[in-house]
Structure 1
Amino acid sequence: MGHSHHHHDHSEGNIKVAFFLNLGFAIIEFIGGLWTNSVAILSDSLHDLGDSLTLGVSWYFAKVAKKDRNQSFSYGYKRFSVLGALINSIVLVTGSVFIIIEAIPRLFSPVNPNTEGMIYLAIGGIIVNGAAAFKLSKGGSLNEKTVFTHLLEDILGWVAVLIGAIVMHFWDFPIIDPVLSVLIATFILFNVYKNLKESFRIILQGTPSNINIKKIHEVIIDIPKVLDVHDCHTWSMDGEYHILSIHLVIEDNLQLSELESIKKETKTRVSKLGINHTTIEFETLNENCDPC
């Protein structure tokens, strides 16, 4: 439990740093867009302001996820971080569609902006977003992964702006900028799809992708005095904290101390397979189980 709490402190701190970096640079970027007369940078500044809002929401949900369980939420608030990831994904999709809509007209009527100013802003954007992304790159929570994807979008966007600005600076070839924007937005939409798929898997209480139910059966059935294993259900709270509910058929007339030993051994074995919380029900061979 202590490890999980420490992780969420770490997650919250990472998102907090990314939020302030992103918000600060979005303001600089907006001013820079006006200075360079670049619609691409102005559009990206609005996109970054949207990112900052999303990061703020993620930061808030990372804080909420740390709250202890209570009567209203008996498993705690960990799933709120998944809500943060969902909101992030929706904003990402909206932002990417916006980029595509903005880029398509420029394919037919490109505009040459202040390319030197664009180069300086692009380098700054890569450094700032790169620092924020590095902070989140080792994050394990779904929320952190989604925010990392968000920042990756920004870095790739700035790389595109940098390449486009350099090319436009030396050659009259402005169409490269909208082409790169469309390609990057498509790449991001693919990544968002994967994050959304995982978010919905958690919300719909699907079996976590890194949990093997067959392996859980194998390690438990091997415990002395356990005759059968069934009614095995496993789901995740937030993509990291996994829960298991299981029925164990045991030999008749076992002592309380023997039951305690089986329970302890079961929890130890499944914890090595990634299960954090286990609920066990004991049955005998003659008992008529009513599986749920």
Structure 2
Amino acid sequence: MEASGNLFFAFLLNIFFNVIVIVGAIFTNSVAILADCLHDLTDTISIGLAWGLERISRRDSNKSYTYGYARFSILGAFITSTLVIIISIIVIYEAIDRLFHLVTPDAGGMLLVAILGIVFKGLSAYRLHKGITFNEKAILLHLLADIFEWIAILIISVILIFWDVPFLDPLVSIGISIWLIYSLSKTLKGSLEIFLQKSPSNIDVNEFKNSILAIDGVNSIYDFHLWSLDGIESVLTLKLKIDDENKKENILNIANKIAYNNNIVDVTVEFNYD
């Protein structure tokens, strides 16, 4: 319940802040703030999905979803990443146009919005910094990135107060958008790999197989399938040839222990005898 509460707190705080940023982007005429508004909107959607999925994750599997609802989070990441990459490209286009038609933004307004951004994101990050669930940790990383971005906008706004260098505003927005595209492209790629049942990147398959082959009584592995359920937990099915039926229980216990240490939550082993 604590994880769900922390995420809901961050979700409400970010919705309120999104309204402030949208108004701030309009009144300050800053494409840098507009670009960061896009990132903040992404984070709000992500937090909302995380909060909803934290509640849904308590549901038991059923006849329709025999593995449960874990992959709904991956679907959410895929949809969000795709939309934000498209919008980021549009923001870059607008920022490049602004470079050729320079408009001096309201530096004072930018400074105020940047300070509010640091405060709101800081409060959300503080609420989540002791979280132990994957959702909390993932959202915390997003929030920390947001804080650094708002610090960059704050610095730019201070510079604009003292020097008339309006080109810095669209340059920052391009930088933020490129960073978003780069970061979310990795998220998009990771989501697709999970849907396509690629083996988990955190597990060395050859090393894993060798650890099973090293078990006394195991002669060979002739069928091996390992895939990620949701990017965190994994599923394994394998067929082993063993030399003695009496060793089956011991081999299964050791195989399960190896799987558990690799965060594999579901293991199916079939035995055949030489």
For normalisation by structure 1, the TM-score amounts to: 0.81
Paired residues for 1:121-132 under 5 Å: 121-132=113-124
Q: Which moved more, 1:197-206 or 1:87-96?
A: 87-96
Q: Does 1:283 align with 2:272?
A: yes
- Render the CA deviation track for 1:38-83: whole Å, top value 9, x for unaligned: 3437735863446434532343234323321111111111111111
| 1:189 paired residue number | 181
| 2:201 paired residue number | 209
Paired residues for 1:130-149 under 5 Å: 130-133=122-125, 135=128, 141=134, 145=138, 147=139
Structure 1 residue 240: Cα displacement? 0.9
Structure 1 residue 235: Cα displacement? 0.4
Kept in 2, the 8 Å contact 1:220–1:266? The answer is: yes
Q: Does 1:120 align with 2:112?
A: yes
Kept in 1, the 8 Å contact 2:28–2:107? The answer is: no
Kept in 1, the 8 Å contact 2:35–2:173? The answer is: no
| 2:257 paired residue number | 268
Kept in 1, the 8 Å contact 2:111–2:153? The answer is: yes
- 1:171 maps to which of 158, 163, 167: 163
**1:91 is matched by which residue type in structure 2?**
L
SS in 2 for 1:77: coil
| 1:249 paired residue number | 241
Kept in 2, the 8 Å contact 1:15–1:58? The answer is: yes
| 2:218 paired residue number | 226
Structure 1 residue 221: Cα displacement? 1.8
Residue ranges of structure 2 left out of the alignment (5+ in a row) = none
Kept in 1, the 8 Å contact 2:236–2:264? The answer is: yes
In the superposition, relative to structure 1, how do residues 219 and 44 fare at CA in structure 2: closer, same or farther (>3 Å)?
closer
**1:94 is matched by which residue type in structure 2?**
I
Give the Cα–Cα distance (whole angstroms) in 2 for the partners of residues 15 and 98 of structure 1.
30
Structure 1 residue 179: Cα displacement? 0.7
| 2:192 paired residue number | 200
Give the Cα–Cα distance (whole angstroms) in 2 for the partners of residues 89 and 266 of structure 1.
37
Structure 1 residue 281: Cα displacement? 0.2
Give the Cα–Cα distance (whole angstroms) in 2 for the partners of residues 11 and 98 of structure 1.
35
Give the Cα–Cα distance (whole angstroms) in 1 for the partners of residues 213 and 265 of structure 2.
19
Kept in 1, the 8 Å contact 2:78–2:191? The answer is: yes
SS in 2 for 1:276: strand
| 1:67 paired residue number | 59
Kept in 2, the 8 Å contact 1:223–1:262? The answer is: yes
Q: Does 1:22 align with 2:20?
A: no
The count of corresponding residues between Structure 1 and Structure 2 is: 272
Give the Cα–Cα distance (whole angstroms) in 2 for the partners of residues 220 and 46 of structure 1.
50
User: Percent of pairs identical after alignment?
Assistant: 34
**1:102 is matched by which residue type in structure 2?**
E
Give the Cα–Cα distance (whole angstroms) in 1 for the partners of residues 28 and 205 of structure 2.
58
Structure 1 residue 33: Cα displacement? 4.4
CA RMSD of aligned residues (A): 2.9
Kept in 1, the 8 Å contact 2:31–2:173? The answer is: no
In the superposition, relative to structure 1, how do residues 168 and 93 fare at CA in structure 2: closer, same or farther (>3 Å)?
same
- Which structure has more RCO (C-alpha within 8 Å, separation ≥ 6)? 2
Structure 1 residue 136: Cα displacement? 6.8
Give the Cα–Cα distance (whole angstroms) in 1 for the partners of residues 218 and 254 of structure 2.
11
Paired residues for 1:75-154 under 5 Å: 75-133=67-125, 135=128, 141=134, 145=138, 147=139, 151=143, 154=146
Structure 1 residue 203: Cα displacement? 0.7
Q: Which moved more, 1:159-168 or 1:18-27?
A: 159-168
Q: Which moved more, 1:89-98 or 1:113-122?
A: 89-98
In the superposition, relative to structure 1, how do residues 98 and 66 fare at CA in structure 2: closer, same or farther (>3 Å)?
farther
**2:65 is matched by which residue type in structure 1?**
F
